[in-house]
Copies of this chain bind each other. A is one copy, B any other.
Amino acid sequence: MADQLIECVPNFSEGRRPEVINSIRDAVAAVEGVRVLDVHADAEHNRFVLTYVVPESRAVASGLAAARAAVKYIDLRTHEGAHPRMGALDVFPFVPLGDVPMARCVELAATLGEAIAAELEIPVFLYEEAARRPDRANLENIRKGGFEALREALPHDPDRRPDFGPAAVHPSAGAMAVGARRPLIAFNVYLGTPDPKLAKAIAKAIRHSSGGLRYVKGLGLEMPGTGATQVSMNLTNYRATSIVTVMDLIRAEAARWGVPVLRTEVVGLIPMDAMLDAAQAFLQLRDFSRDQVLERRLLQSS
């Protein structure tokens, strides 16, 4: 069995002190096999997101390194920020790449959660695909009220008992969510209207929560001073709800309102397969094998 790559996207409760961000990044990068793809810090949220890939066999070790570094450098008792959080290392999702089955990432999440709880005495909750209770599939249910509320509730409320570790937050590092999820595409569509009502109406039509496409989350946003508005989306399963379907529906809805689609943007990374879906749609390519893409053939024959 090849040692396939897993993507890891830990979120840390620090977005302001570059020396802390760098130290945590370096601690993770020092694990054999880790390749850091991106570091994205947000000062207002006081939070940073580390994106890296690591071979399966080193994935748990890299997660432990991330948790140890977070405990060492971050103290939630003095942390403030706009984003909800309950832990120094707040959430740690494993994301399958290529042909890695989701079940493998669920397994990695459980192994990592148990190891962190045992070594660092941090309560760990399993979330999304790794959740062991349906209500914990949604991270917001776990994190409700953040660190401060959890610190009060954990010792008393059996419903909030963690999957691993003590029924009390770690004094400085809080609690942690470890999980498995599909690759996510952050995708924004700019509309040629200043009226946020139209952007909101289109967002409502396409997102799952209000009756739209199953794996789309979306909001209609104002873009003051630009004459435009934005439909801001997360595509949470691009294999099941294709970015092509999303564009088709947004274009149809926008056209019905007489609003042009000005342009779109991908925030962060997008899997090659989603781009190839879009290319095949544009070109009307039927009976196309992805092995016909030269660079993919090269990767396979190596």
Binding site for B on A (CB under 8 A): 5, 7, 35-38, 53, 97, 183, 243-244, 247, 261-266, 268-272, 275-288, 292-298, 301-302
A247 to B285, CA, bound (A): 11
Chain A residues touching B, majority SS: mixed
Residues from chain B with Cβ under 8 Å of A287 in the complex: 263, 265
Q: Which of B35, B270, B295 contacts A302 (CB 8 A)?
A: B35
Show 11 residue pairs from A and B whose CB-CB distance is below 8 angstroms, ordered by the A residue.
A36-B301, A38-B297, A53-B298, A262-B284, A264-B285, A264-B286, A265-B287, A268-B292, A271-B294, A275-B276, A278-B278
Q: Is the CB of A275 within 8 A of B279?
A: yes
Residues from chain B with Cβ under 8 Å of A295 in the complex: 271-272
Chain B residue nearest to A261 in the complex (CB): B284
Q: Is the CB of A285 within 8 A of B272?
A: no
A27 to B293, CA, bound (A): 26
Residues from chain B with Cβ under 8 Å of A262 in the complex: 284
Q: Is the CB of B263 within 8 A of A284?
A: yes
Chain B residue nearest to A269 in the complex (CB): B294
A265 to B283, CA, bound (A): 9
Query: Given that A183-B294, A292-B266, A301-B36 are contacting pairs, would A282 and B278 also be in contact in the complex, using a CB cutoff of 8 Å?
Result: yes
Query: Given that A183-B294, A298-B35, A301-B36 are contacting pairs, would A266 and B285 also be in contact in the complex, using a CB cutoff of 8 Å?
Result: yes
Quote the shortest CB–CB distance from A238 to chain B (angstroms): 11
Q: Which of B53, B264, B275, B301 contacts A275 (CB 8 A)?
A: B275
Residues from chain B with Cβ under 8 Å of A285 in the complex: 263-266
Residues from chain B with Cβ under 8 Å of A263 in the complex: 284-287
Q: Which among A7, A36, A277, A293 has the highest number of chain B CB atoms within 10 Å?
A: A293
Closest 7 CB pairs of A and B: A282-B282, A278-B279, A275-B279, A279-B279, A272-B295, A278-B282, A263-B286
Quote the shortest CB–CB distance from A120 to chain B (angstroms): 29
A281 to B283, CA, bound (A): 10
Known pairs A263-B285, A265-B286, A279-B279 / 14 extra A-B pairs, C-beta < 8 Å? A5-B298, A7-B294, A37-B294, A37-B297, A53-B298, A247-B282, A265-B285, A268-B292, A269-B292, A270-B293, A271-B294, A272-B293, A278-B282, A278-B283
Quote the shortest CB–CB distance from A122 to chain B (angstroms): 30
Residues from chain B with Cβ under 8 Å of A265 in the complex: 285-288
Q: Which among A97, A271, A272, A296 has the highest number of chain B CB atoms within 10 Å?
A: A272
